[in-house]
Amino acid sequence: MTHPASVELAALRDEALRLATNAADDAALDAVVQAFLGKSGRLKGHLKRLGSVPAAERPALGKAVNDTVTEVEAAIATRRKALGDARLEAALSDPGFDPTLPGAPVARGTLHPLTLVDQRLDEIFRSMGFYVLDYPEVDSEHYNFEALNIPADHPARDMQDTFWLNDGNLLRTHTSAGQVRTMKAFAPPFRAIFPGRVFRYEATDASHEHTFHQVEGLCIDRHVSVPHLQASMKTLLSGVFGREVKVRLRPGYFPFVEPGFELDIGCLVCDGAGCPVCKRSGWVELLPCGLVHPNVLRAGGLDPDEWQGWAFGLGLSRLVMMRYKIDDIRHLLAGDVRFLSQFSGTGLE
């Protein structure tokens, strides 16, 4: 004897197929989907009836429900295509249709300003013999802090509010986290940069973001000097801006370099007059740098009596702001197409 659930399923199948086949438009098809295939649809709900069916009949009835769902979905897809074909045929048959008219223009996108400047930096540093490397955004406490001469009790950790993860790792707070990785990966002498996103748990304003971009640079050789570092930085800046720019070098403290410096650039947004980007000073902190600390060389497996190095951490987001005179860093990651569309034809593509 056929179970009543099987009889009801057959009736539901016939009704769904009839409605799908005879649907006059897409709205009618959507109604069929909702009534029969939705989460609370009549076919989906039919599976709940399996509990009232004898155990021996359940596998067959469950398969029948699934087969019916597949058949109804196919009927809906067939009818939807037929409706679409009919609309297209009607449009082509319209007396006002002229196939010789040009089609609608396709809007072209543009590269993000961060991408444009990053690509230019890659070209500049490759021309100077640097590797261009990439390292994880999620990193360990060891590479982000300890290997950079920043132990757990070091006050410098308070300067970098960190996003910690449940597994004990963190979102890197600076691209400097790649320094020791690079020392372990390449035999000296070598030069390398590693650009990428970094993350700080801090309030945002015109010149600060919780997510921003940096470019770390590292040079390891037997004899390096601060003038060598300065020359590389001037080559970098003149390559990006296409002209000499006003810079200053002042003492700065960073645990992973000794001596350490801050390289500032004259604000190109206000031409030194003072604005929110430069905090009314006329200068923008752009490039912390210095000679690699002996403890960092040791962490990378190098003998500081044999090898020396210099490093810098370029604020790529701030460099982009200077290059394009952007007055608020938050524009860079806001995803506003109106903002991004301004950077086509800027000369760096």
pLDDT attached to residue 214: 92
d(CA 13, CA 34): 15
Assess if residue 348 is contained within a domain.
no
pLDDT attached to residue 346: 47
The domain of 68 spans 4-93
Assess if residue 104 is contained within a domain.
no
pLDDT attached to residue 126: 93
For 297-304, the CB contacts below 8 A with 24+ separation are 297/183, 297/220, 299/146, 299/147, 299/148, 299/149, 299/180, 299/183, 300/147, 300/179, 300/180, 300/182, 300/183, 300/184, 301/183, 301/184, 302/183, 302/188, 302/220
Assess if residue 178 is contained within a domain.
yes
pLDDT per 10-residue tile (average), the chain, 349 residues: 66 87 90 84 70 70 80 91 90 84 80 89 91 94 93 72 90 93 94 93 80 93 89 84 80 89 82 79 84 95 95 88 85 84 60
Assess if residue 260 is contained within a domain.
yes
Same domain, 322 and 208: yes
Examine the fold and report which residue of 47, 63, 93 is the final residue of a domain before the chain moves on: 93
Same domain, 136 and 277: yes
d(CA 18, CA 13): 8
pLDDT attached to residue 349: 43
Same domain, 87 and 132: no
Same domain, 274 and 239: yes
d(CA 322, CA 37): 56
d(CA 250, CA 283): 12
Stated pTM of the model: 0.64
Same domain, 176 and 230: yes
Same domain, 119 and 268: yes
pLDDT attached to residue 4: 66
> Which tokens in the block code for residue 113?
């300003």
- How many domains are there within the chain? 2
d(CA 279, CA 145): 29
CATH number of the CATH domain containing 265? 3.30.930.10
Same domain, 119 and 58: no
Same domain, 120 and 237: yes
Same domain, 154 and 70: no
Same domain, 251 and 326: yes
Same domain, 165 and 280: yes
